[in-house]
C-alpha cells in the first residue's frame, strides 16, 4: 500500500522495527522511481513514547500527514490458556493502542485542513473468530470498532475512516 501511495505521488513515511540502515536502499529506490520523499522511522509502537516519536518524525520529514495507514501488528499463536499475559498486553499496545494514539496525533491537523484519510488494516478475523489466535482476533475486531467510532466523530470534517479487512494472504 505504501508503494501504491508513492506511485500516486504521495510522500511516504514508512515505519518498522528493522534497523534504519537496512531500509535506506528501498527508500532511495522509491524516491528515484516515484519522485517523492520516502523516509523510514524505526520505533517501538508498544510504548506511547514510540507512537509520539513516530508522529514527530513523520511531521518533521514531510509535514502533517494527510493519510494515515495503521498497519502495525504483532500476533501470537496458541490456545488462550497458554498465551502469556505480557504477549496479550503487547498485542493490545501495538495492534490497537498505537493506532488510537496515531489517530489522536494526526486528527488536529486533519481537522484544520478539513481533509484526511484514516485507514486501519484489520483482517477477516476481525469479522469472525478463529482458534488459537485470541490476541489477533480480539485486536482486529477492536480496530473495526475504532474505525467506526472515528468515522462517526469525523464525518463532518472532510475526514474518512475506513478499515480494510483482507483474508488470509
Query: Active-site residues: which are they?
Result: 136
Asked whether 1 and 71 are in contact (CB, 8 A), the reply is yes
Backbone angles phi, psi at 38, to 5 degrees: -135, 125
How many other β-carbons are positioned within 10 Å of the β-carbon of residue 44? 14
HSE toward the beta carbon, residue 102, CA cutoff 13 A: 36
Residue 114 φ/ψ region, left for φ over 0, alpha for ψ in the -120 to 50 degree band, beta for the rest = left
Q: Which three cell numbers stand for residue 49?
A: 513514547
Look at residue 162 and give its three-state secondary structure. strand
163: closest CA among 117, 124, 122? 122
Terminal alpha carbon distance of the chain:
14
Amino acid at each position: 500500500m505504501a508503494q501504491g501511495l508513492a506511485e500516486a505521488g504521495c510522500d511516504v513515511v514508512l515505519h518498522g522495527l528493522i534497523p534504519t540502515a537496512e531500509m535506506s536502499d528501498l527508500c532511495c529506490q522509491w524516491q528515484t522511481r516515484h519522485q517523492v520523499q520516502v523516509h523510514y522511522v524505526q520505533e517501538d509502537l508498544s510504548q506511547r513514547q514510540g507512537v509520539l516519536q513516530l508522529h514527530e518524525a513523520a511531521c518533521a520529514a514531510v509535514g502533517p500527514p494527510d493519510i494515515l495507514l495503521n498497519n502495525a501488528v504483532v500476533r501470537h499463536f496458541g490456545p488462550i490458556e497458554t498465551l502469556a499475559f505480557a504477549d496479550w498486553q503487547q498485542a493490545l499496545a501495538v495492534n490497537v493502542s498505537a493506532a488510537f494514539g496515531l489517530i489522536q496525533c494526526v486528527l488536529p491537523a486533519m481537522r484544520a485542513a478539513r481533509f484526511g484519510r484514516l485507514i486501519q488494516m484489520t483482517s477477516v478475523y476481525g469479522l469472525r473468530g478463529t482458534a488459537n489466535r485470541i490476541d489477533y482476533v480480539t485486536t482486529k475486531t477492536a480496530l473495526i470498532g475504532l474505525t467506526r467510532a472515528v468515522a462517526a466523530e469525523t464525518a463532518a470534517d472532510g475526514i474518512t475512516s475506513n478499515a480494510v479487512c483482507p483474508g488470509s494472504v
